[in-house]
């Protein structure tokens, strides 16, 4: 049983046994599409909400206050046909920090490879064994990635089965005519996000992710100086990943979620700590170098 389940109730009533894992806000924004029918996009939003929040995605049970807080924002920018649309999707998720009211971000991804078809009032049904349509596949992919990140934060490599489900979705989508699923299209797409995450060379990233949360942020209330030291160690463990795959999509995704949190954590650190961590972060996360430079001022 995954360590995450220590945070879940072991004995639940029959109704709670079937409780879903996600508390997800869904928003579909189609304001950029001229003459868009609000009813259609309201229905799309409701259909996605039902798919995400009503379906059981794992075999584990979650109390209401243990559900993964997440959001899905779909921004539709162009109408390609009566039922086809182009845009982007942003998926964010967080998990609670032990013994606090703070929620730490575990995922923040914006995907520009988003061309979908939607027939009004048609329910979105995810078929685990086959390609279920672009919209459903993309949503399911990011839900399993989200679950993988969440479980990895409670147990070392605890999210493997969910990353494997996300990879299966990628494999089932190889026949799709749309971008985002294939290795040759881009180094920063859904294919490489999950393929890298399951590869041996990115294991230090997953181990660091676990240590960062379970022995770092989950211990902040207990001893902030020691916990911050553990966070420093977990970030230092990312250097081998940077050396092997500099500016990799997976490292960027990690810091999309974490850079602001990390900078905030070290605001009250000692000058020696700040110098050490800012030098490291500027090296392994150059995209946020300005944020880390400010720590030195």
Q: Is 153 exposed, middle or buried (0-12, 13-18, 19+ CB in 10 A)?
A: buried
Residue 287 CB contacts under 8 Å (≥ 6 apart), including other chains: 247, 252, 255
Q: Give the Cα separation of 91 and 208 in Å (integer).
A: 22
Q: Give the Cα separation of 278 and 288 in Å (integer).
A: 11
Question: What's the pLDDT at 62?
Answer: 86
Closest CA to 227 of 218, 235, 236: 218
Question: What's the pLDDT at 129?
Answer: 86
Question: What's the pLDDT at 38?
Answer: 86
Q: Is 117 exposed, middle or buried (0-12, 13-18, 19+ CB in 10 A)?
A: middle
Question: What's the pLDDT at 22?
Answer: 95
Q: Give the Cα separation of 295 and 274 in Å (integer).
A: 7
Q: Give the Cα separation of 196 and 110 in Å (integer).
A: 18
Domain ranges of the chain: 3-198, 216-297
H or E element that contains 236: helix 224-236
Q: Give the Cα separation of 66 and 74 in Å (integer).
A: 25
Residue 131 DSSP label: -
Q: Give the Cα separation of 253 and 291 in Å (integer).
A: 16
User: Residue with structure tokens 């110098």?
Assistant: 275
pLDDT by residue for the chain (297 residues), tens only, comes to 455 554 443 323 333 334 589 999 999 999 999 776 789 999 999 999 999 999 999 999 888 878 899 999 999 999 999 999 999 999 999 999 999 999 999 999 999 999 999 998 888 999 998 998 999 999 999 999 999 999 999 999 999 999 999 999 999 999 999 999 999 999 999 999 999 999 999 999 999 999 999 999 999 999 999 999 999 999 999 999 999 999 999 999 999 999 999 999 999 999 999 999 999 999 999 999 999 999 987
> Do the strands 68-79 and 22-29 form a parallel or antiparallel pair, or are they unpaired?
parallel
Q: Give the Cα separation of 186 and 197 in Å (integer).
A: 16
């Amino acid at each position: 049983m995954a360590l995450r389940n220590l945070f879940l109730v072991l004995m639940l009533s029959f109704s709670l046994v079937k409780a879903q894992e996600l508390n997800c806000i869904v928003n579909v924004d189609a304001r950029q599409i001229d003459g868009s029918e609000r009813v259609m996009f309201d229905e799309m939003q409701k259909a996605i909400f039902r798919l995400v929040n009503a379906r059981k995605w794992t075999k584990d049970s979650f109390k209401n206050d243990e559900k993964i807080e997440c959001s899905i924002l779909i921004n539709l920018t162009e109408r390609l046909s009566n039922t086809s649309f182009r845009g982007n999707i942003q998926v964010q998720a967080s998990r609670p920090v032990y013994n606090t009211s703070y929620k730490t971000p575990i995922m923040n991804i914006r995907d520009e490879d988003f061309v979908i078809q939607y027939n009004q009032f048609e329910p979105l049904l995810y078929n685990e064994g086959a390609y279920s349509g672009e919209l459903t596949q993309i949503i399911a992919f990011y839900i399993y990635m989200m679950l993988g990140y969440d479980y990895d934060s409670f147990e070392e490599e605890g999210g493997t089965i969910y990353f494997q489900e996300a990879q299966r979705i990628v494999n089932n989508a190889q026949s799709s005519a749309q971008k985002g699923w294939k290795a040759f299209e881009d180094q920063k797409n859904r294919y490489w996000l999950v393929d890298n995450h399951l590869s041996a060379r990115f294991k230090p990233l997953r181990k660091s992710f676990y240590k960062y949360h379970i022995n770092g942020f989950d211990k902040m209330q207990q001893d902030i100086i020691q916990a911050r030291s553990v966070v420093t160690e977990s970030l230092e463990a990312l250097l081998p990943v940077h050396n092997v795959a500099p500016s990799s999509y997976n490292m960027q995704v990690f810091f999309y979620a974490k850079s602001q949190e990390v900078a905030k954590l070290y605001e009250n650190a000692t000058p020696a700590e700040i110098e050490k961590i800012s030098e490291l972060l500027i090296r392994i996360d150059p995209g946020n170098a300005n944020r880390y430079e400010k720590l030195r001022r």
